[in-house]
Structure 1
Amino acid sequence: MNVALLIAKRYFFSKKKRNIINIISVIAMIGVGVGSMALIVVLSVFNGLEDLIKSLYGKFDPEIKITAVEGKSFETDSVFLARIRNTPGVALLTEVIEDNALLRYNDRQMVVKVKGVSDNFFQQNQIDSAIVDGHYLLKRNGQQYALIGRGVQYQLSIRPENPFSPLQFLYPKAGTKTIINPENAFRQLGIQAGGVFAIERQYDDQYVFVPIAFAQELLGYENRRTALEVKTENQKNIDKVKAALQKTLGQDFQVLNSEEQHVSLLRAVKVEKLFVFVTFTFVLLIASINIFFSLSMLVLDKQKDIAILASLGADSNTIRRIFLTEGAIIAFTGAFVGLALGGTICWVQQTFGLVSMGMSTSVVEAYPVLMRPSDFLLTGAAIILITLIVSIRPASRAASLSVRDHI
């Protein structure tokens, strides 16, 4: 029989009239419960935002991206590309030419990012599911088309598949000296807009997809590429394929997985989540101070009981465990209820999306929420540590009481 647990439960579930000790204990439980609930909800929202970012960029970004360590482009040939295609685990290789260019449409113009891609680009990702107007194919019936972002469409008032108003791209000619007519210093090439995509504002406001042959002619890159995008045979083996490609290509190239392509943004989300966890842990600590006061007053109230237990043979460790267990019962009861409520709130938001983002331009209607077992475990561990910290002093004081003075 666990004597410490039995006596601690007796103190906790006592049916005597409620006094200040009971009130403080209830306040402590409510504080721990509310803090635990809030921590789980906020951490789950951060998880949801992180998952949303990955899913949005997953429509645009490849599983693996190869770029040069120095410079914005690199030479390619059939042998070089074959080495990459023959790497175990590589299912698809897409060539990319990307650079800034001036886009004109009727009497409007803006600087955009032109991304020329090879024909298999749309097998790499799910950008076809982000089409909001027109068609996603860049080649149809022997004619080339451009795929523009929704922000670009709004700024230039572009009508997709309008044969009377093609898009006009201008790019500086290399090595051109100052001349009388500035337009002669630019390559100029036209193409018809075939479709509009909407992924995320960062992309929608500046990107235009074109066939790689069009980009080669406009930008003058010839056999140079700014990036190579790789799709793997099995997403579970991305890290192995990445390592194999890095070994094959050497130190002159950097091979990035999907997270490494947006490492700064994802790191910022994780750092914010860490700060939120630390902040709410301090809130839990403040709420748990009531446990300290409750136990301290309980020790004063139960001095005679402690003296009787000691005279009956209970050692100091047993008495200390009684009050440590009492503190744990108060904290864990509040924490269990708080974690259950937090999980319920997150489940309701995941299922029904009751709390909306409140913005008409949001990519999702409701706040994204994703529960992870690790958050529940970390919250539980924090509560255990906090409970131990606030309970040690009153428990040690109870264990050191003199039997002679209180019998």
Structure 2
Amino acid sequence: MILSAHERMIARRYLLPHKGEGFIFLVAGFSVVAVALGVFALISVMSVMNGFRADLFDRIVGLNGHAIVQGYDGRLDDWEAIAEEATSLPGVVEATPLIEQPLMASSNGRVEGILLRGVRVEDIRSNKLITENVTAGSIADLRPGTNNVAIGGRLANALGAYPGAEISLISPEGRSTPVGTVPRIVTYRVAAIFEVGVYDYDKAFVVMPIEDAQTMLMLGDAVAMVEIEVDEPDKVNDIVAPLQQTIAGKGVMVDWRQMNSALFEALEVERVVMFVVLCIIILVAAFNIASSLIMLVRAKRRDIAILRTMGASRAGMTRIFMSVGLIIGAVGIILGAILAAIFLFFRQSVVNFIQLVSGAELWDPSVRFLSELPSKTDPFEVAAIILVTILLVFLATLFPARKAAATDPVEVLRYE
């Protein structure tokens, strides 16, 4: 929308309060604040939800891969052939053997349910999610035959374990005796404690070399599953589809969506609902802009009539009042974006401060799944939020601007 020099001058004058117009200016100020709060809320909430999904995805997939081939009865005897064929598929980055088994762990008279995870030593050391989050001990001490394990930080707290302490793993599948099956109990030394930031994993994981896990569970050379990593997670089904014939009758394939379908679907639905709900704030702000412009038009009827008699066109008056409304909206958008950037930068400090003042734990990791408030701002999403706001503000200015353009100078000057 291009304004002439005198139209820009008039629009600029109408943006500033004059005698008797303080209330109109106050309403316009409320409109700016409302737009700013709407944009701030939308950008902040969507960024946090994007960060939550991305962080959750990275941590879950970092430990479980994009797809797994799980053997029937928890055994894959010819896993080497499956892993070899998987790595030969286009798009597959890596296929690694894995053992996972829920067991019980005991230490210092305490018992906790755990998830035993047997991984090749080289895979443990190349997994940055574990190696970069070691809080005590050393991952380098995990070697086959040493009976050393790494455990999650919250499990360590629950068991009262620390590097160098001993924990006993209890498997219900032990040796058979005349009086029944005796549970298998093996003692291990805690070599390292890690905290990946996913509560359920930090509370349950016990990681050991795959050879020790095979011995513990009496699997021989078999494994429980093959973990597959691909270069395009969203296309994992198409990438691993050719592997279905090979594993027929041996096991079942599950991708990351199926493993966490309820969680990610809930996040997606929540994102859409939050976007729609928060857009209502901006819609209310747009109505405020419309209200302030209507009052401004009423207050400037005489000025509009004089301008019309001096040659101002209806289109020119429409542009002037639309520009006033759009400038109010633009100021609100800029303020909202700045507030969102500040909040997202200091988000964890804000959460900690509110917790300190209120005495309530707002980000309980046992409920929220992650241990910190994440954030990931999508530039395209921010652009969409700004465009939606501009569109709503633009629509809100149409009626007042057309009302101003429709002012009859003869009628106004006759009675005023």
TM-score by length of 1: 0.79
What is the identity, as a one-letter code, of the residue corresponding to 1:215?
A
Look up the match of 1:103.
105
Q: 2:137 aligns with which of 120, 134, 138?
A: 134
Look up the match of 2:386.
380
CA deviations 1:40-92 (Å, max 9, x no partner) are: 33433334444443454465343x33234987655534332321233345454
Q: 1:193 aligns with which of 180, 189, 195?
A: 189
- Residue 406 of structure 1 and its aligned partner are, at CA, apart by 1.9
> Kindly tell me: are residues 118 and 189 of structure 1, through their superposed partners in 2, closer, same or farther at Cα, counting changes over 3 Å?
farther
How does 1:143-222 map onto structure 2 within 5 Å? 143-162=146-165, 167-172=168-173, 181=179, 184-195=180-191, 196-199=193-196, 200-222=198-220
Look up the match of 1:303.
301
Q: 1:355 aligns with which of 322, 347, 350?
A: 350
**Greater displacement, 307-316 / 23-32:** 307-316
| Aligned counterparts of 2:320 and 2:31: Cα–Cα separation in 1 | 18
> Kindly tell me: are residues 106 and 397 of structure 1, through their superposed partners in 2, closer, same or farther at Cα, counting changes over 3 Å?
closer
Look up the match of 2:289.
291
> Kindly tell me: are residues 78 and 337 of structure 1, through their superposed partners in 2, closer, same or farther at Cα, counting changes over 3 Å?
closer
Alignment pair present for 1:24 and 2:24? no
2:173 touches 2:181 (CA, 8 Å); kept in 1? yes
> Kindly tell me: are residues 355 and 365 of structure 1, through their superposed partners in 2, closer, same or farther at Cα, counting changes over 3 Å?
farther
- Residue 188 of structure 1 and its aligned partner are, at CA, apart by 0.8
Q: Secondary structure at the match of 1:140?
A: coil
Look up the match of 2:410.
404
- Residue 278 of structure 1 and its aligned partner are, at CA, apart by 2.8
CA deviations 1:249-301 (Å, max 9, x no partner) are: 459654635x7754543444444444333333222222332212211112222
2:3 touches 2:319 (CA, 8 Å); kept in 1? no
1:61 touches 1:125 (CA, 8 Å); kept in 2? no
What is the identity, as a one-letter code, of the residue corresponding to 1:340?
I
> Kindly tell me: are residues 109 and 180 of structure 1, through their superposed partners in 2, closer, same or farther at Cα, counting changes over 3 Å?
farther
Alignment pair present for 1:67 and 2:69? yes
Look up the match of 1:53.
56
Q: Secondary structure at the match of 2:184?
A: strand
| Aligned counterparts of 1:44 and 1:80: Cα–Cα separation in 2 | 40
What is the identity, as a one-letter code, of the residue corresponding to 2:255?
L
| Aligned counterparts of 1:42 and 1:77: Cα–Cα separation in 2 | 44
- Residue 95 of structure 1 and its aligned partner are, at CA, apart by 0.7
Look up the match of 2:117.
115
Q: 1:319 aligns with which of 317, 320, 323?
A: 317
2:149 touches 2:207 (CA, 8 Å); kept in 1? yes
> Kindly tell me: are residues 337 and 139 of structure 1, through their superposed partners in 2, closer, same or farther at Cα, counting changes over 3 Å?
closer
CA deviations 1:102-123 (Å, max 9, x no partner) are: 3344644333222222333215
Hey, which of these two has a bigger chunk of helix by percent? 2
In structure 2, stretches of 5+ residues that fail to align are 356-360
| Aligned counterparts of 1:9 and 1:119: Cα–Cα separation in 2 | 70
| Aligned counterparts of 2:52 and 2:148: Cα–Cα separation in 1 | 34
2:75 touches 2:223 (CA, 8 Å); kept in 1? yes
> Kindly tell me: are residues 93 and 55 of structure 1, through their superposed partners in 2, closer, same or farther at Cα, counting changes over 3 Å?
closer
> Kindly tell me: are residues 197 and 275 of structure 1, through their superposed partners in 2, closer, same or farther at Cα, counting changes over 3 Å?
same
Alignment pair present for 1:279 and 2:281? no
**What fraction of aligned residue pairs are identical, expressed as a percent?**
23
In structure 1, stretches of 5+ residues that fail to align are none
1:170 touches 1:186 (CA, 8 Å); kept in 2? no
| Aligned counterparts of 1:378 and 1:14: Cα–Cα separation in 2 | 32
Look up the match of 2:228.
230
Alignment pair present for 1:43 and 2:46? yes
> Kindly tell me: are residues 281 and 117 of structure 1, through their superposed partners in 2, closer, same or farther at Cα, counting changes over 3 Å?
same
Alignment root-mean-square deviation, CA: 3.8
CA deviations 1:153-196 (Å, max 9, x no partner) are: 3333335445xx5524222369x8xx874xx4245141412322
2:174 touches 2:184 (CA, 8 Å); kept in 1? no
Q: Secondary structure at the match of 1:146?
A: strand
Q: Secondary structure at the match of 1:143?
A: coil
| Aligned counterparts of 2:148 and 2:277: Cα–Cα separation in 1 | 52
TM-score by length of 2: 0.77
Look up the match of 1:265.
263
> Kindly tell me: are residues 318 and 208 of structure 1, through their superposed partners in 2, closer, same or farther at Cα, counting changes over 3 Å?
same
| Aligned counterparts of 2:280 and 2:391: Cα–Cα separation in 1 | 12
Q: Secondary structure at the match of 1:100?
A: strand
Look up the match of 2:255.
256
Q: Secondary structure at the match of 2:63?
A: coil
1:138 touches 1:210 (CA, 8 Å); kept in 2? no
> Kindly tell me: are residues 343 and 100 of structure 1, through their superposed partners in 2, closer, same or farther at Cα, counting changes over 3 Å?
closer
> Kindly tell me: are residues 366 and 203 of structure 1, through their superposed partners in 2, closer, same or farther at Cα, counting changes over 3 Å?
closer
2:214 touches 2:223 (CA, 8 Å); kept in 1? no
**Greater displacement, 394-403 / 113-122:** 394-403
| Aligned counterparts of 2:343 and 2:111: Cα–Cα separation in 1 | 48
| Aligned counterparts of 1:50 and 1:239: Cα–Cα separation in 2 | 14
| Aligned counterparts of 2:335 and 2:108: Cα–Cα separation in 1 | 63
> Kindly tell me: are residues 15 and 105 of structure 1, through their superposed partners in 2, closer, same or farther at Cα, counting changes over 3 Å?
closer
What is the identity, as a one-letter code, of the residue corresponding to 2:15?
F
Look up the match of 2:358.
none
> Kindly tell me: are residues 396 and 356 of structure 1, through their superposed partners in 2, closer, same or farther at Cα, counting changes over 3 Å?
closer
